[in-house]
Amino acid sequence: MRPLDRWLLRSTGAMRWHLAASVGLGVVAAAAVIVQAGLLAHVIAATFLGTADVATLRGPLLALLVVVGVRALVTWAQEATATRAAARVKQELRTRLLDHVLDLGPGWLAGRRSGDLAQLATRGVDALDAYFAGYLPQFVLACVVPPLVVVRMGLADVLSAAVIVVTLPLVPVFMALVGWTTRRSMDRRWSDLRRLSHHFLDVLDGLPVLRAYGRGRAQAATVRRVTDDYRRSTLAVLRVSFLSSFVLELTASLSVALVAVEVGLRLLDGRVGLETALLVLILAPEAYLPLRQLGAGYHAAAEGLSAAAQVRDVLDEPAPLRGSTDVPHVAETGLSVENLQVRYPGRSRPALTGGTLRVGPGELVALVGPSGAGKSSLIAAVLGFVTPAAGRIQLGDVDLTDVDAAAWRQQVAWVPQRPRLVSASIADNVRLGVPDASDEEVLGALRAAAAEELDPALWLGEDGSGLSAGQRQRVALARALLRCTRGGGLLLLDEPTEHLDPATEERVLRTLAHRAREPERPLCVLLVGHRDAVARAADRVVRLATPGPLVIELGVPA
């Protein structure tokens, strides 16, 4: 591990200020240490030798009091600025991480463990506290205090300063050796922790299924095993940590003892004065102290740095849509997909090859094909959730990869294959894309989605529990239809009628066809479905075969 993480230091504006403040405070702290040692040595020597009485020592004693006060203040200020900077940097990193994850989209997320990511965004980023509040100020002190102390000692007694200069570098050398080992065990521990959270989340998520198949106990055993791994790696880190503290303390103590013996012998010989000897003795431990404390804070900081490196890895992932071109209105240009190929990481076979279709303004195009043909993947690419491996998606002559992601999604209304509802009222769920929609608009959207029997005020549980699959689908459809009345130009529907009875399906499809062709506000509608009714309602049917390229059939099918 490098002593300072350059990426982290450059990553946020709050950091620069924090570093400057730390250096300033470090210099004040060093000066205070030196002045305090000088005053102490003077007062003790004068009292011991009887060369001054209390009245003449009043000045130095008062000054000593002031210096002690200054040291306390500096310590407070260091902690205060460090904590504040830590809070700011963490907030900024977390915001950037979450923003970027949103940009990367569900396609990226699907290939990762969400427990992992949750762990990274919460505990991982929090682990940076130790880095900012403990390690970084200590690092600055370790750079500033020892040199100044050595210079002050050198002015008083060259030999003692020489002993310190020789022994002091041993501390960082040992620290580097220890840090080398720590880094590995720290990374190990962190990955064990992530594995643990991932497992736990997974088990909780699938508890009903696990119970039903009688696998609950086996999963508990797995969690126990992973927990045990975590315990082991934590203990490994602690072992290294204790051992390294021991080594550092020993080096520092022996070095101070060396100075004490050497100064003591010369004091007995009368070759140095009492005040000088005292000054050297008081200053010697101060030269080692910041380095020792740096070593102690190192382990806690290493965890934060492990996490920071992973945050950086996520931030370095390129987002599928990262352009900034203005998006033309899709309801005017239409959408064309040409030879699209989608691949998911870790899969040898592409999820979709040769996806070609066009949806013109006011058109309802049905995309059909067997399960696993890549229909949902095509929709994910249009939404900018996955990066196409080949082929293009265009709005008129503008390439989708060049447009601004947020502006593009403003125009898209999407009903996913497995609609996600939030724990709120049905009305709130419908309003998700248009927060300021009136009650009438919400009711209208529910009616259009054939969901008028649902009470908009009904409160839903986690992920919409409390509704049947068909009801969920219609709420999601109402949400998308509402979005289309406000700026939405492209309606993407992934098997929206899968759970509906034939009569309701007919009704929904009629509404969709009608909405697509509405004269003053035409839409582009891409509808994924299996059933005949879907094909009948469409202006055109695009068949996706697997494997092999797409066959396009023009005209209304028989």
Residues that bind ligand ADP (CB under 6 A): 110-111, 344, 347, 351, 369, 371-377
| CA–CA dist 421, 438 (Å, integer) | 20
Residue 344: how many CB atoms within 10 A of its CB?
17
Q: How far is the CB of 119 from ligand ADP (least distance, A)?
A: 21
DSSP 91-128: HHHHHHHHHHHHHHHHHHHHTS-HHHHHHIIIIIHHTH
By beta-carbon proximity to Mg ion, the closer residue of 157 and 494 is 494
* From Mg ion, ligand ADP, none, interface partner of 347 (C-beta below 5 to 8 A by class): ligand ADP
Stretch that binds Mg ion, among 43-51, 373-381, 485-493, 501-509 (CB under 5 A): 373-381
Identify which of residues 376 and 473 has a Cβ nearer to ligand ADP in the complex.
376
CB closer to ligand ADP, 371 vs 468: 371
Residue at 502: amino acid letter: P
Query: Are 354 and 341 contacting, i.e. CB atoms less than 8 angstroms apart?
Result: yes
CB 60, CB 39: distance < 8 Å: yes
Nearer to Mg ion, 364 or 544 (CB): 544
CB closer to ligand ADP, 202 vs 428: 202
Residue with tokens 């982290």: 8
Q: Which does 110 bind (CB under 5 to 8 A by kind): Mg ion, ligand ADP, none?
A: ligand ADP
Q: Near Mg ion by CB under 5 A, which window of 208-216, 223-231, 375-383, 534-542?
A: 375-383
Question: d(Cα 536, Cα 551) in Å, to the nearest integer?
Answer: 18
Least Å distance between CB 111 and ligand ADP?
A: 6
Residue 216 Cβ, how far from ligand ADP at the closest point, in Å? 27
Q: Lay out the site mask for Mg ion across 405-444 (x = CB under 5 A, - = otherwise).
A: ------------x---------------------------
- Kindly state the smallest distance separating residue 340's Cβ from ligand ADP, in Å: 11
Looking at 112-120, 317-325, 369-377, 507-515, which segment touches Mg ion (CB under 5 A)?
Answer: 369-377
Binds 419, which of ligand ADP, Mg ion, none (CB < 5 to 8 A, cut-off by type)? none
- Minimum Å gap between C-beta 375 and Mg ion is 5
Helices (H), 120-215: 125-126, 128-129, 136-156, 158-167, 170-205, 207-212
C-beta of 185 vs 377, nearer to Mg ion:
377
| Binder of residue 344, out of Mg ion, ligand ADP, none (CB less than 5 to 8 A by kind) | ligand ADP
Rounded Cα distance, 393 and 401, in Å: 8
240's tokens: 């290294």
User: Do residues 378 and 352 make contact, with C-beta atoms less than 8 angstroms apart?
Assistant: yes
* C-alpha to C-alpha distance for 261 and 267, rounded to whole angstroms: 10
Q: Does residue 540 sit in helix, strand or coil?
A: strand
Label residues 37-58 b or e (16+ Cβ within 10 Å = b).
bbbbbbbebbeeeeeeeeeebe
Least Å from the CB of residue 116 to ligand ADP: 16
Phi, psi torsion values for 336, nearest 5 degrees: -130, 135
Position closest to Mg ion via CB:
376
The minimum distance between CB 380 and ligand ADP, in angstroms, equals 7
Cβ 543 to ligand ADP, closest distance in Å?
12
Of 22 and 376, nearer to Mg ion (C-beta) is 376
Per-residue binding letters, 153-182, with Mg ion (x by CB under 5 A): ------------------------------
Residue placing its CB nearer to Mg ion in the complex, 293 or 376: 376
Here the contacts of 11-16 (C-beta below 8 Å, separation 24 or greater) are: 11/89, 11/92, 11/93, 11/312, 12/88, 12/89, 12/92, 12/93, 14/85, 14/88, 14/89, 14/92, 15/85, 15/89
Binding at 371: pick from ligand ADP, Mg ion, none (beta carbon under 5-8 Å per type): ligand ADP
* Cα distance between residue 43 and residue 317, in whole Å: 62
CB of 513 to Mg ion, least distance (A): 22
What are the residues whose beta carbons fall under 8 Å from the beta carbon of 401, sequence distance 6 or more? 320, 321, 322, 323, 387, 393
376 binds Mg ion (CB under 5 A): yes
Do 171 and 288 contact (CB within 8 A), yes or no?
yes
Whole-number minimum distance, CB 175 to Mg ion, in Å?
A: 55
Residues at the interface with Mg ion (CB under 5 A)? 375-376, 417
